[in-house]
Chain A
Amino acid sequence: MSRADVLVDASWAESHLDDPKVVFVEVDEDVSAYDKNHIPGAVRLDWKTELQDAVKRDFVDQDQFATLLGGKGISNDATVVLYGGNNNWFAAYAYWYFKLYGHSDVKLLDGGRKKWELDSRNLTDEVPSREATTYTAQPARTDIRAFRDEVIAAIGAQNLVDVRSPDEFSGKLLAPAHLPQEQSQRGGHIPTAVNVPWSKAANDDGTFKSDDELTKLYGDAGLDDSKDTIAYCRIGERSAHTWFVLHEILGHQNVKNYDGSWTEYGSLVGVPIEVGA
């Protein structure tokens, strides 16, 4: 994988709005953003109601994912271009699902909704109608998703990257500061994790930094290339952004996203927690 395989810029996107092979998909934390406006022709994926299991804490399984994409009119051979607000956090999270269930051609729009808006490019409130397809999802990959036991085993042994803000890492905040802070779990971070906030991988306009800047960022943070890496945040979407950088842009192998993240780890009984910077 390299940058050109996994990222498209806004100009490319604009010139492929009418390309029948390309499907634009918006994924936002604020799911009402799509209703206001979106990139012409784009369909919406709702990260809460469509990408999560309705009962247990887990995301959609292979069959649910296939049904979802089929219903959206996305076929297996489509070029899927994901974008969204929050500097593509939730778009990166959805990208990770597409990879997990074996979609071959999926890309992120560099800078997402923010760059598109800052460029004053065209947005519409018109909802496209796409004919349903039969989508076949592959069995879930296990090499890009981490579960809690692997995370505990990685303490002091593998690279753990906490991508939350410094105040969340130290335990001063329990959630990103655009959300209320009342949370049930403890504050702090997983011992031996390094703190490389996701935001350090992005420019102010939401686009990803250059390969050289990214390589230096994680090198300076002490990420050891010879070890496996697990990225985590609060609920797994910001760490999907960092997983995208490490695994997809920089081509590191053995990088997993821990989607249980702090809302799971910080609620486990008896696991070690470190506080402070």
Chain B
Amino acid sequence: MCSPPVGGLSLDGVDVNKESVIQGTVTRDGQPVASAYVRLLDASDEFTAEVVTSATGHFRFFARPGQWTLRALSSQGGGEARVVAQQGQAVDVEVTIPA
């Protein structure tokens, strides 16, 4: 609870067991990419949400269980990753931007 918020908002006061958290980092050449825009797209590729990565390249979403796509956009290029979210268990994913 004392760690700095990543991917936007703090988890203080959030019952993580009720949430289906998708979180992770955006990287390029193994380095975190700050201020990248990360989109969460549902199974039919519909836009669901977007956050900006933190100084350490982190992002976080509160989704629902199921298949999702993450799409990152930055001034250094873009990348994509697929992920399956589960309730009560945060899933970590790295979105890589080709160097």
Q: Give the interface of A toward B (CB within 8 A).
A: 30, 33, 85-87, 114, 117-120, 165-167, 172-173, 175-182, 197, 199-200, 204-205
Interface residue B48 (Cβ < 8 Å from any Cβ of A): yes
Which single residue of chain A is at the shortest CB-CB distance from B85? A177
With contacts A177-B40, A181-B18 taken as known, whether A199 is within 8 angstroms of B8 at the C-beta atoms is: no
Contact A167 B48 (CB under 8 A): yes
The number of chain B residues touching the other chain, given as a range, is 20 to 34
Report the minimal beta-carbon distance from A34 to chain B, rounded to whole angstroms: 13
- How many Å lie between the Cα of A204 and that of B9 in the bound state? 22
Name which of B8, B18, B50, B75 has the most chain A CB atoms within 10 A of its CB: B50
Partner pick for B14 among A173, A176, A180, A204, CB 8 A cutoff: A180
Contact A182 B15 (CB under 8 A): yes
| Complex interface: chain A residues within 8 A of B19 (CB) | 180-181
Contact B50 A167 (CB under 8 A): no
Contact A179 B62 (CB under 8 A): yes
- How many Å lie between the Cα of A117 and that of B75 in the bound state? 7
| Complex interface: chain A residues within 8 A of B52 (CB) | 30, 33, 85
Which of chain B's residues 4-52 have a Cβ closer than 8 Å to chain A? 7-9, 14-15, 18-19, 35, 37, 39-40, 42, 44, 46-52
Interface residue B91 (Cβ < 8 Å from any Cβ of A): no
Beyond A86-B50, A167-B42, A180-B14, list 18 extra A-B contacts (CB 8 Å): A30-B9, A87-B50, A117-B35, A165-B46, A166-B42, A167-B64, A176-B49, A177-B63, A178-B9, A178-B62, A180-B9, A180-B62, A181-B18, A181-B62, A182-B18, A199-B47, A200-B47, A204-B39
8 of the cross-chain contacts (CB-CB < 8 Å) are A87-B50, A120-B75, A165-B49, A177-B63, A178-B50, A180-B9, A181-B18, A182-B14
Name which of A118, A177, A179, A204 has the most chain B CB atoms within 10 A of its CB: A177
Contact B14 A197 (CB under 8 A): no
With contacts A181-B62, A197-B47 taken as known, whether A119 is within 8 angstroms of B75 at the C-beta atoms is: yes
Interface residue B74 (Cβ < 8 Å from any Cβ of A): yes
Which single residue of chain B is at the shortest CB-CB distance from A168? B48
Report the minimal beta-carbon distance from A268 to chain B, rounded to whole angstroms: 24
With contacts A30-B8, A166-B42, A167-B42 taken as known, whether A178 is within 8 angstroms of B49 at the C-beta atoms is: yes
Report the minimal beta-carbon distance from B44 to chain A, rounded to whole angstroms: 8
Report the minimal beta-carbon distance from B34 to chain A, rounded to whole angstroms: 10
Contact B47 A173 (CB under 8 A): no
- How many Å lie between the Cα of A117 and that of B7 in the bound state? 17
Partner pick for B42 among A85, A165, A200, CB 8 A cutoff: A165
- How many Å lie between the Cα of A28 and that of B9 in the bound state? 14
| Complex interface: chain A residues within 8 A of B63 (CB) | 173, 177
